[in-house]
Copies of this chain bind each other. A is one copy, B any other.
Amino acid sequence: MSEKNSVGLVKAKLVKITKPLKLTSGKKLPNYELAYETYGKLNAKKNNAVLVCHALSGNHHVAGRYKKDDKYPGWWDNLIGPGRPLDTDRFFVIGVNNLGGCHGTSGSMSINPKTKKRWGSDFPIVTVEDWVNTQAALIDQLGIESLAAVIGGSIGGMQAMQWALSYPKRVRHAIVIAAAPNLTAQNVAFNEVARQAIITDPDFYNGDYYRFKKKPKRGLRVARMLGHITYLSDDAMDLKFGRKLKNKNIEYSFDVNFEMESYLHHQGDKFAEEFDANTYLRMTRALDYFDPAKDYQGNLSKAFKKVEADFLVVSFTSDWRFSPQRSKEIVKALLDNELTVSYAEVTAQHGHDAFLMSDPHYHGILTTYFKKIANQL
């Protein structure tokens, strides 16, 4: 990917939303802050905005770099820029850190205005519906009535779906990638093991570890290592690591013997340093709870009755976390409502993580779809 197609240097912004937020849980936030970034320009008609929703460990830094020498650009940089699939010459792109996050948006790490102390365990449990409501408040502030598209992968795709449900008049296209209409029992189980690793870490202090100047790093590390297994396909792991040893011989120890272990340790260590455990708990709970069909006796087609947006649904053959089968459930429910939906099952080896890669077939589909949207502006 050439640097010349990059959005270049970017700055994060912060907005305070003073309209109180009623959460799905019944709790209320009188106000909150959202960290966000934008790329490209809002056109005169204000109809070219595309919202990018992030997944579990993502944030509002979707594209570009803060400083020239940043080691990595934003997490979906390969998608966004002038001439890239989500073309910033045509679109005004918005990235936002979700409520409960740990990168600037109000969350457990933030100061609770009432107590002047960090929220910690008191920060409420949030849902995909709540996130979409805060994102709608953000675009209100930006003077945007209707989004050209909402796009996201994994739990980001669930947010795109929820947008079409919560604000049918305010989103024209929903792009749902590597997602599912809800979690399977196995998905919930993986989330719960990760949460239990965190919650039972003695440094968790029931979510109020900031007060003790501690972090439940051990638990967060195990949670992340486990997550990584589910992001990659079995085949991709075998190709990348197989049974390769770190050193020449088996060491008959519980230290790192296999390269696979070395990779997991590295990912776990890095994440435990950078991420906040309370955010991890809330993101996984939001995943567990997402289930638009639940108020319709499990009938997704009925849940989608109010949808008006056109959909693009993309799945990856080797994604065993949210398999193509789950995407097809979404497609079926949309078709049952005579909605316009394009579906692509991309042959990919990387498992769930494929949604972050720049596979030509996958990016070709997105390029075409965004061109179609651009032509309607």
A-B contact list, 18 entries, CB within 8 Å: A27-B252, A125-B254, A183-B243, A184-B237, A185-B238, A185-B258, A186-B232, A188-B258, A189-B229, A192-B264, A193-B222, A193-B225, A193-B264, A196-B221, A196-B222, A200-B222, A250-B289, A257-B288
Interchain nearest-CB distance for A121 vs B (Å): 9
- Name the residue of chain B whose CB is nearest to the CB of A256: B192
Given A222-B200, A234-B184, A253–B192 Cβ distance below 8 Å?
A: no
Task: Tell yes or no: A260 within 8 A of B by CB.
Answer: yes
Task: Tell yes or no: A283 within 8 A of B by CB.
Answer: no
Q: Which of A27, A242, A291 has the most CB of B within 10 A?
A: A242
Task: Tell yes or no: A25 within 8 A of B by CB.
Answer: yes
The digit string for A252-293, where 1 denotes a CB below 8 A from any CB of B, is 111001101100110010000000000001000100110100
Task: Tell yes or no: A315 within 8 A of B by CB.
Answer: no
Extra A-B contacts (17), CB below 8 Å, given A26-B252, A196-B268: A125-B253, A125-B254, A185-B234, A186-B229, A186-B237, A186-B238, A188-B261, A189-B228, A189-B229, A189-B261, A192-B261, A193-B225, A196-B221, A197-B197, A199-B254, A200-B221, A250-B289
Task: Tell yes or no: A30 within 8 A of B by CB.
Answer: no
Interchain nearest-CB distance for A336 vs B (Å): 21
Contacts of A188 in B (CB 8 A): 243, 258, 260-261
Contacts of A226 in B (CB 8 A): 193, 226
- A-side interface residues toward B, CB under 8 Å? 24-27, 124-125, 182-186, 188-190, 192-193, 195-197, 199-202, 218, 221-222, 225-226, 228-229, 232, 234, 237-238, 240-243, 250, 252-254, 257-258, 260-261, 264-265, 268, 281, 285, 288-289, 291, 294
Contacts of A125 in B (CB 8 A): 252-254
- Name the residue of chain B whose CB is nearest to the CB of A198: B254
Interchain nearest-CB distance for A313 vs B (Å): 21
Q: Which of A184, A222, A258 has the most CB of B within 10 A?
A: A222
Q: Is the CB of A258 within 8 A of B225?
A: no
The SS class assigned to the A binding surface is helix
Interchain nearest-CB distance for A193 vs B (Å): 5
Q: Is the CB of A254 within 8 A of B195?
A: yes
The distance in angstroms between the C-alpha atoms of A339 and B250, with both chains bound, is 31
- Name the residue of chain B whose CB is nearest to the CB of A203: B202
The distance in angstroms between the C-alpha atoms of A125 and B237, with both chains bound, is 26
Contacts of A281 in B (CB 8 A): 254
Q: Is the CB of B288 within 8 A of A258?
A: yes
Q: Is the CB of B238 within 8 A of A184?
A: yes
Contacts of A232 in B (CB 8 A): 186
The distance in angstroms between the C-alpha atoms of A71 and B47, with both chains bound, is 68
Given A182-B243, A229-B186, A238-B184, A285–B193 Cβ distance below 8 Å?
A: no
The distance in angstroms between the C-alpha atoms of A250 and B129, with both chains bound, is 14
Q: Is the CB of B192 within 8 A of A260?
A: yes
Interchain nearest-CB distance for A300 vs B (Å): 13
Q: Is the CB of B222 within 8 A of A260?
A: no
Interchain nearest-CB distance for A239 vs B (Å): 9
- Name the residue of chain B whose CB is nearest to the CB of A206: B254
Q: Is the CB of A237 within 8 A of B196?
A: no
The distance in angstroms between the C-alpha atoms of A153 and B302, with both chains bound, is 45
The distance in angstroms between the C-alpha atoms of A27 and B188, with both chains bound, is 43
Contacts of A253 in B (CB 8 A): 125
The distance in angstroms between the C-alpha atoms of A125 and B285, with both chains bound, is 39
The distance in angstroms between the C-alpha atoms of A201 and B93, with both chains bound, is 44
